[in-house]
Every structure is written in structure tokens, then in C-alpha cells.
Amino acid sequence: MTRNDQILTVAHMRAAEQSLIDGGETVTSLMERAGKGVADWVWRIAHERPVTVLCGPGNNGGDGYVIARELSKRGTPVVVVAPFEPTTDAARAARETYRGTIASAGKGGVLVDCLFGSGLTRPLSSELVALLTQEAAHHSTLVAVDMPSGVDSDSGLSLNHDLPANDITLALGAWKLAHWLMPAMANMGEKRLVPIGVEPVEGAATLLRRPHFSVPAIDAHKYTRGLVLVVSGAMPGAAQLACEGALRAGAGCVRLAAQGLHPSATPDLVLKRGPLVDLLADDRTSAVLAGPGLGLDETARVKLGEVLAADRPTVLDADALTLLRPRACDGRSAALILTPHEGEMARLGESFGIDASNRIDRAAQLAQAAQAVVISKGPDTLIASPSGQLTIAPAAPSWLSVAGSGDVLAGIAVSRLSTGAEAYTAACEAVWLHGEAARLAGMAFTASGLAQHVSDAYAAAL
């Protein structure tokens, strides 16, 4: 059974293709399937406009010859630009089946980039960069097949600078990491998957999908739905934003441990004064959030220590991440979710002795070291678990780049954790709700405006 949410490394993809070949497929049959699938897309995109297919020397170029052949059969004006002779048997065979024009340059509607697909590890030559740039300038629409040429599939890094941006990228068989990682994904345009029969791969990353919620049970009450305790500090505004998110993400009751409330605070929020250790000892408390507005002084350190020592399902964000040290996680058995942005991830890396060259490895190593689920925030948000699971979220609206949006995410996460969801599931649900709320909020929203749309996002998953 194939699946369209797995994200494969180059090694995973090669193994998956080999498994298909071991089961009776051939390189040629897979090339035919991929090429015909892409041709269906390009034919619709072109809509009678002329198409130029830029073919490289390997099997990605072979896909290009199949694409050109199939488009020609449908009456689409098509030419192939091939700066290399085919170097694989399958690519040579595909070229033999294409009877159309092979030219030194093209011009017109759609340029299909089949120079190099996934697996490229070295930069394109200056001559190829010039060719790709020139051809892109002479066409109104640019389509990348599998992976834009000049991109490292596993890291998402651009191997060359100033490559043309694509209007659409058609992934072959399965998503690759670079389809969902910056900076590469910023130049891929829309992304679509062309299936070729790839089976599920054990240990593969997955693409974040819409969760499935349910309405509360008929006999539910505020404590069975989940009681959240948010621990505030010197700046209660950030904690109150987190509470706003938590109130709308499924929990039945949200308490704020603080000395007072801002006049604009919602009346739905329960203010709790008194010693934090007493509040944490309330067995009805389902999950705790610390960090937004916590502060970095000794009082904040003490509060964080009390939260972690209580060993309840916990989300740590913002200031709590700066204060967190490895020894504070020792001996805990309850779920822990960390929600760092890039700067906080760097500080956590120093605290936990993490030495990794890319975001995926950093998140995975932190998850293992802290025995926590890590939401590594950014335009390419990652969710990593201590057991090695990895989920990547599609890019959310860039309007999320506003002060306080991370506080809302932390509140959503602790709310989902309070409902009894396993930590990894709660983290994935929170990231999805956060992105969907941003989509529903429209343009130029504030963090409080974002929080107000969390209920609407929740409704979209019922």
C-alpha cells in the first residue's frame, strides 16, 4: 500500500526503488510510470503552450525524454534541450523512444527541468547554471521534476546561488526532505506528488497532516477534558497569550499561576495565587506550561525547578528553554515538550552539548538528550521525538512572524497534552492547529487575533 505523506532521504528512495525492482519492476518501467505521470501534469499546465524539456545525462533526463514523448503524442509543441548524451541504459532507451525535436535552446510557455533530480551533491557547473537561467528567462512557467537542479535533497541547501525559482515542483514517488526544508522549498513553488508505487518505508519522516478530533463525551466536564496550569512570571502578557491559545484548543479549564491579570484578560481564565508547589500538587492538573513571560532571574529558576520536579506532563517555551539544563530533566517520567525557535535551539545545543550540522539532526539529538518531544519552530517546523520519529510541517502563512505567535503555539500544545494525547501526537496537533489558525486569521493579524481563530481551526478537524 503506497502512502503520500512519507518523506524520504536519498538512501531511503534508492532502497524503495530497488524493492520495486526486486518485486518485478525495471528501471525502465519506473521511468515510464514517472514520465507519464509528470506529462499529465505538464500537459494541463501548458494548455497548448509550447514546452521545452531540459534533459540531463542520468535517469532524471530519461524521465524528461518520456515526458517529451508523451506530450508530443498529445499534440503539445515540444522540444528537448540536452546538453549531455544519456549515460544510463534506461535514459538511452528513453531517448530512442522520443522522435521529436532536439534543439540547442527553447522558447515559449513551459520549461521542464529534468537536468538532475534527487541525489545531487555537487554544484552545477557555471555553464549549466547559465543554460538553466537562460532557458528560464525564455519561458513563462518553470516546472522542476522531482527536485530542482542544484539542490541537495537531504539538507534542503542550495548548491548554487541565484538559481531560478520554480512555479511547481513534481516529486517522483515520494516527498524528499528538501521539498519541505528551507532554503530550498522557498524556490519550489507549488508541490505535487507523482506516485510510482513506492511502499511505506520504515523509519521515514512524515508530512504533517490534518488531525482528527471529536466532540467531548456526553458526560464530560471541565476536569475530564483537561486542566491546564500556565506558570507566569514577570511579564504576564505572554503567559496570557498562551492561555488564550490553550482555552481554544480542547482543554476544559485553564488556570494561570500569577499575582494578577492584565485588564484585557478574558474572564474565562482562572487566576490562581499562592505557592506554586501547592498548585502543582493538585492531582486534577493534567498538563503544565512554563516559559512565556517567565523571566530569567532566580525566581524564574526556582519556578522552573518546581514545575519539572512535579513531574507532570509539561510544555516548556521561551524563557524556560534558556534556563533549562540537562540535570533538570533527570528522573522525570511524565511527557515533556520543548518548543524552541532557532535562537533557543542554539542555546539548548550549548546546554545539552549537541553538535549537529543541520536542523533535523539538532532536533533529533535534543529530543534524545532531553527525552522530550521537540517542536523546532521556523518556516520549516520540525517535530522530533526521543524514539526517532520526525514530522515536518508544510509552510504555514508567513504572517505568523509576529510577536507572541510562539506563546499561542505553546498554549495550544499544553492544551492538547492536557486532553490525554501522547506527547508526539499533541505536538503534531498543536503545530497543525497553529498553522490552520493563521490561515483562517488572514493577513496582518496579532497574536491575540491568531488565538481567537484556534477554535475555528479546531472545528476544521472535527
Q: What is the 3-state secondary structure (H, E, C) of the chain?
A: CCCCCEEECHHHHHHHHHHHHHCCCCHHHHHHHHHHHHHHHHHHHHCCCCEEEEECCCHHHHHHHHHHHHHHHCCCCEEEECCCCCCCHHHHHHHHHCCCEEECCCCEEEEEEECCCCCCCCCCCHHHHHHHHHHHHCEEEEEEECCCCCECCCCCCECCCCCCCCCEEEEECCEEHHHHCCCHHHHCCEEEEECCCCCCCCCCEEECCCCCCCCCCCCCCCCCCCEEEEECCCCHHHHHHHHHHHHCCCCCEEEEECCCCCCCCCCCCEEECCCHHHHHCCCCCCEEEECCCCCCCHHHHHHHHHHHHCCCCEEECCHHHHHCCHHHHCCCCCCEEECCCHHHHHHHHHHHCCCCCCHHHHHHHHHHHHCCEEEECCCCCEEECCCCCEEECCCCCHHHCCCCHHHHHHHHHHHHHHCCCCHHHHHHHHHHHHHHHHHHHCCCCCHHHHHHCHHHHHHHCC
Over pLDDT 90: what percentage of the chain? 91
Average pLDDT score over residue span 80-85 = 96
Confidence tier at 260 by pLDDT (50, 70, 90) = low
Domains, the chain, in order of start with CATH, read: 6-202 (3.40.50.10260), 227-460 (3.40.1190.20)
Predicted local distance difference test score (pLDDT) of residue 258: 86
The model's pLDDT over 320-364, given as tens digits with 9 standing for 90+, comes to 999 999 999 999 999 999 999 999 999 999 999 999 889 999 999
Average pLDDT score over residue span 167-193 = 97
Predicted local distance difference test score (pLDDT) of residue 163: 93
Which cell numbers in the block locate residue 449? 487575533
What does pTM read for this prediction? Answer: 0.94
Instruction: Please say if the pLDDT value at position 272 is more than 90.
Output: no
CB 111 within 8 A of CB 137: no
The model's pLDDT over 91-129, given as tens digits with 9 standing for 90+, comes to 999 999 999 989 999 988 999 999 998 989 999 999 999
Instruction: Please say if the pLDDT value at position 417 is more than 70.
Output: yes
Question: By C-alpha distance, which of 304, 299, 350 is closest to 329?
Answer: 304
Distance in angstroms (rounded) separating the CA atoms of residues 76 and 231:
63
Predicted local distance difference test score (pLDDT) of residue 271: 77
Instruction: Please say if the pLDDT value at position 269 is more than 90.
Output: no
Predicted local distance difference test score (pLDDT) of residue 244: 95
Q: How far apart are the first and last CA of the chain?
A: 26
Instruction: Please say if the pLDDT value at position 456 is more than 60.
Output: yes
Provide CB contacts within 8 A for 123, sequence distance 6+.
150, 159, 160
Instruction: Please say if the pLDDT value at position 1 is more than 50.
Output: no
Over pLDDT 70: what percentage of the chain? 98
Average pLDDT score over residue span 220-240 = 92
